[in-house]
Structure 1
């Protein structure tokens, strides 16, 4: 069920962030690309700020209450987009969208990792990313068929999907009774300490201190090299650079029709999904190193070449190569990350790692919008390719004190 929720949420999120908001804000509202980048960044800020606390909450109270809260906030964010059209409300809605989707990855990855352990991590990551890419890929494609002179029908479809997601979330298995008991314990503790908060500091600061100590303990159990954390950031920063400009480039520079653009999205996404599970199985058998290296170099080459090509057929080949590159990279990269995480603190450490990765999604769109406005339409793609080359160099220095091979 978590994978179904992931598919629906990422479908909605991909449709909004890739197909609807960039063109809607640029053409209908006349907003600069830099401001569009900031709007995207607010979504990632909302997502990123809450990922580590969410990981802690998952360890304490379980998946269902955390996931349900997030899905309800996602519903509210889409409802705001349907109801209001002012740019300020769109920024608020994007922020809520980020907060609402922040439990998604910690919940799904923690649950999946618990179910398979260290065996089969590559395959497990491939299945997760297949659900993610299916949602992210189909969302922007399908929503184009519902966009006419206005975006009303498209927003209503997305609202309906979020309602469906809320219903599915209500049927998540309760698991053990840890969740309800922990919520009651935390609530009782909050009420008991409320009257003493003025003398000894607020209960919120105490809870934050608990989270901080827990995360410090979790981080101290990791044994990774200095290059590991910059590499986590760089991987998503490269993608973040493309988020606000991909649709703009296709529609305003290449002058692709919505149908042609959908064809390119389907080509890249389908190739990636097609290769994910086979690559994941090979990662489980042979390890991560060569798949990471090949994926980074192939993706970097495609991105550095892409903005200098205008022939549609050649662009389609580059998109296909990029899809293969990310199919090689995604399961191997995440299997490597999973291999360094101690089992007793999966939720917190996945939340911590996803927070670092999320910083790349925050800063990428901001810098991308500025590069587009200040330098030109080629700059974000070149920057993204250069970041992947830097990531290739960084990962050569990544070493852990345990063997990074998914057995």
Structure 2
């Protein structure tokens, strides 16, 4: 087990899964499919979605500070209740102004969930397993997002009542899980990891607000760049498949190979990141991702098709190494006294990278096609690697140890 209090972490992860299933299903499926029948036009729906995700991104840092003062469990409970009121209110009393306001408030408080979960995961991680614990926490939400996209939409198309029932039931479960965590507070830095020996090479905590947040600022350019690269492909999956003459079924086998390679890479290099230094996993991960993107950029359509069984496992290995290294580096760098707020600041910048990715990816596709998109992605990964090596190497040395 990766955590010293597994039941607390499992409850938090269950809350995250239920909440993300509802959020994805509501904004991706329910509003676009059922909103017009409720009198909500495309502009209103767009405003509701945009207000929610913008408030979520901007609120992660400030709401982290709120959760440190008021208690994480109380803020999570408030967020779950706001989600239930938003979904139920949209179903029973649809309104443009009320809907936009409710979605924004929900997004603002929802912004506490991710930083809070990552802070608790870091604090409760067993000695020597921090990078792997954070990587697992970071990736655990994937099934819920997939279910929100692939399950809620078809269910709503078959029966709108069934779709609303699923969303309200899942959000009701989220409320119960959050209420069960009502007294949860972020562990104090001096007691979060009782009996844990010092991490080899980790710098001793430095006093002073400015120095602590200066260490966080070191991470922000790289946080933006490395989420920008995968964000380039968000809206281009089906155009790329059509360009390459591939279908979703053609990706099944290579996708499984990539998943297996990712799990193996995360386990092996995650241990290296925990026991030696996160950069030992981060550096090869970024280089391998840059190489894979560059290989696809210079390959023609038939060549990519024939190389899928090579490219997919390499992508899995690179992404597993990157996830282990990045989460380990962030864990070593963030100030212990304001861990939730610092996680919120980093994740807010990551969200901005994901937001900018589709815009730049669309432009690269229009002007450069496949080569433009993957060439830009390779350049972003390579520039991120150079940032860590120079001048970011010296900065990160001081922030997170050698």
Question: Match for 1:355 among 338, 348, 352?
Answer: 348
Corresponding residue for 1:2? 12
Cα deviation 1:171-208 (Å, max 9, x = unaligned): 11514699xxxxxxxxxxxxxxxxxxxxxxxxxxxxxx
Verify the 8 A CA contact 1:130 1:273 in the aligned structure 2. Answer: no
Verify the 8 A CA contact 1:42 1:94 in the aligned structure 2. Answer: yes
Corresponding residue for 1:400? 396
Corresponding residue for 1:230? 221
Following superposition, the deviation at residue 55 of structure 1 comes to 0.8
Give the aligned length. Answer: 362
Corresponding residue for 1:337? 330
Within 2, Cα distance between the matches of 1:145 and 1:91? 25
Cα deviation 1:227-261 (Å, max 9, x = unaligned): 53311211222233222x14433665456556556
Corresponding residue for 2:281? 291
Q: 3-state DSSP class of the match of 2:223? A: helix
* CA RMSD in angstroms, aligned pairs only: 4.6
Matched, 1:111 2:101: no
Within 2, Cα distance between the matches of 1:374 and 1:39? 31
Within 1, Cα distance between the matches of 2:367 and 2:217? 33
Q: Residues 2-401 of structure 1 correspond to what in structure 2 (within 5 A)? A: 2-12=12-22, 44-75=53-84, 98-99=107-108, 101-116=110-125, 119-136=128-145, 140=149, 146=155, 157-172=166-181, 174-175=183-184, 218-222=209-213, 224=215, 228-243=219-234, 245-249=235-239, 252-254=242-244, 268-269=258-259, 271-273=261-263, 275-306=265-296, 308-310=300-302, 312=305, 314-315=307-308, 317-372=310-365, 376=369, 379-397=372-390, 398=392, 399-400=395-396
Following superposition, the deviation at residue 51 of structure 1 comes to 0.5
Q: 3-state DSSP class of the match of 1:174? A: coil
Cα gap change, 1:247 to 1:335, in 2 (>3 Å): same
Verify the 8 A CA contact 1:304 1:382 in the aligned structure 2. Answer: yes
Within 2, Cα distance between the matches of 1:403 and 1:48? 24
Corresponding residue for 1:201? none
Q: 3-state DSSP class of the match of 1:69? A: helix
Following superposition, the deviation at residue 153 of structure 1 comes to 5.7
Cα gap change, 1:258 to 1:117, in 2 (>3 Å): closer
The runs of 5 or more residues in structure 2 that have no matched partner are: 1-10, 35-41, 188-207
Verify the 8 A CA contact 2:15 2:174 in the aligned structure 1. Answer: yes
Within 2, Cα distance between the matches of 1:370 and 1:105? 30
Verify the 8 A CA contact 2:134 2:328 in the aligned structure 1. Answer: yes
Following superposition, the deviation at residue 337 of structure 1 comes to 1.3
Cα gap change, 1:352 to 1:360, in 2 (>3 Å): same
The alignment's TM-score, normalised by the length of structure 2, stands at 0.70
Within 2, Cα distance between the matches of 1:287 and 1:354? 22
Corresponding residue for 2:7? none
Corresponding residue for 1:184? none
Verify the 8 A CA contact 1:309 1:315 in the aligned structure 2. Answer: no
Verify the 8 A CA contact 1:46 1:96 in the aligned structure 2. Answer: yes
Following superposition, the deviation at residue 327 of structure 1 comes to 0.8
